[in-house]
């Protein structure tokens, strides 16, 4: 089963429009003609028009770090799927651990956002992962199963094709501590088995599961090179064109 890898940049709350434009201009030259993997950038909403315009016609996809589940409404500070699509965005992260941790996103909210994203034809990257205390207590598998089951509630096999899952152990995000390839593969297998249980073996075999958490140029090959790991969600190392490119060219 060959799944095309997706290497995605989560810029979090970094970069001005001028910095984002300078990144894309330099980056497009570095990844021109790279078709082995899909490449996506997830900037802050205020940067989306700049990044989408700069990446137009290239092999680089662009999406939002978060969307609201409502079509529109009185939700101060939020971004709707319609707004994202109107500026040309095609992808969205959902349920990143920082959203769960600092903005109280629950599995139920993640599920609502996933339904909205799919309804509007976006590619959703649903993030799951355990915190350190859960890993140390031997609860990683339970946490992953609960998060995957919660995210996929009401999703059918027919709806599932665009879905991407990102396994991001929270203790590895921004800490420089990466899961070993063995730990990542084990978690990915748990997630894929849960998808198989919920949506059937064909969906499970086709769904892409990315690894995220301190992915850097020097560990990218060991991680993404694993048959079970279908790409990466990269934070810190995605902020510079050269380091992100080095990961893409693992």
Q: Is 168 a catalytic residue?
A: yes
Establish if 65 lies at the interface with ligand PGA (CB under 6 A). Answer: no
Q: How far is the CB of 92 from ligand PGA (least distance, A)?
A: 14
CB neighbour class for 227 (10 Å; exposed up to 12, middle 13-18, buried from 19) = exposed
Shorter beta-carbon distance to ligand PGA: residue 62 or 173:
173
- The site map against ligand PGA for 155-174 (x = CB under 6 A) is -------------x----xx
Q: Are strands 6-10 and 164-167 parallel, antiparallel or unpaired?
A: unpaired
Give whichever of 193 and 243 is closer to ligand PGA, judged by the CB atom. 243
CB 137 within 8 A of CB 176: no
With respect to ligand PGA, which residue has the nearer C-beta, 89 or 213? 213
**How far does Cα 95 stand from its chain's mean position?**
9
Q: Which of 96, 98, 130, 194 is catalytic?
A: 96
Binds ligand PGA (CB under 6 A): choice among 210, 233, 247, 248: 233
Provide, rounded to whole angstroms, the least separation between the CB of residue 86 and ligand PGA: 26
Buried b (16+ CB within 10 A) or exposed e, 152-184: beebeeebbeebbbbbbbbbbbeeeebbebebb
Give the number of residues written for the chain.
250
Given the rule CB under 6 A, which of 106-114, 155-163, 191-199, 230-238 is the region that contacts ligand PGA? 230-238
Estimate the share of the chain in helix, then strand, then coil, as percent rounded to the nearest 5.
45, 15, 40
By CB under 6 A, tell whether 67 contacts ligand PGA: no
Distance of CA 244 to the CA centre of its chain: 15
> Closest separation between CB of residue 235 and ligand PGA, Å?
2
Q: Active-site residue numbers?
A: 96, 168
Residue numbers of the site for ligand PGA (CB under 6 A)?
10, 168, 173-174, 212-215, 233-237
């Amino acid at each position: 089963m060959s799944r095309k890898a997706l290497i995605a940049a989560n810029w979090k709350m970094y970069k001005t429009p001028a910095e984002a434009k300078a990144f894309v201009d330099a980056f497009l030259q570095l990844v021109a003609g790279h078709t082995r993997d899909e490449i996506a950038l997830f900037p802050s909403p205020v940067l989306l028009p700049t990044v989408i315009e700069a990446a137009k016609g290239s092999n680089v996809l662009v999406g939002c770090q978060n969307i609201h589940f409502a079509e529109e409404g009185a939700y101060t500070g939020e971004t709707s799927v319609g707004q994202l699509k109107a500026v040309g965005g095609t992808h969205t992260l959902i349920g990143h651990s920082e959203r769960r941790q600092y903005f109280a996103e629950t599995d139920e909210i993640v599920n609502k956002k996933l339904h909205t994203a799919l309804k509007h034809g976006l590619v959703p990257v649903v993030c799951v992962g355990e915190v350190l205390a859960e890993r140390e207590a031997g609860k990683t598998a339970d946490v992953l199963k609960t998060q995957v089951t919660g995210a996929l509630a009401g999703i059918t096999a027919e709806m599932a094709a665009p879905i991407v899952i990102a396994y991001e152990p929270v203790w590895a995000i921004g800490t420089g501590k990466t899961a070993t390839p063995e730990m990542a593969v084990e978690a990915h297998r748990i997630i894929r088995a849960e998808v198989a249980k919920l949506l059937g073996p064909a969906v499970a075999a086709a769904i892409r599961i990315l690894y995220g958490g301190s992915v850097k140029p020097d560990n990218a090959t060991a991680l993404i090179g694993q048959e079970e790991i279908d790409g990466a969600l990269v934070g810190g190392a995605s902020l510079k064109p050269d380091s992100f490119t080095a990961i893409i060219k693992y």
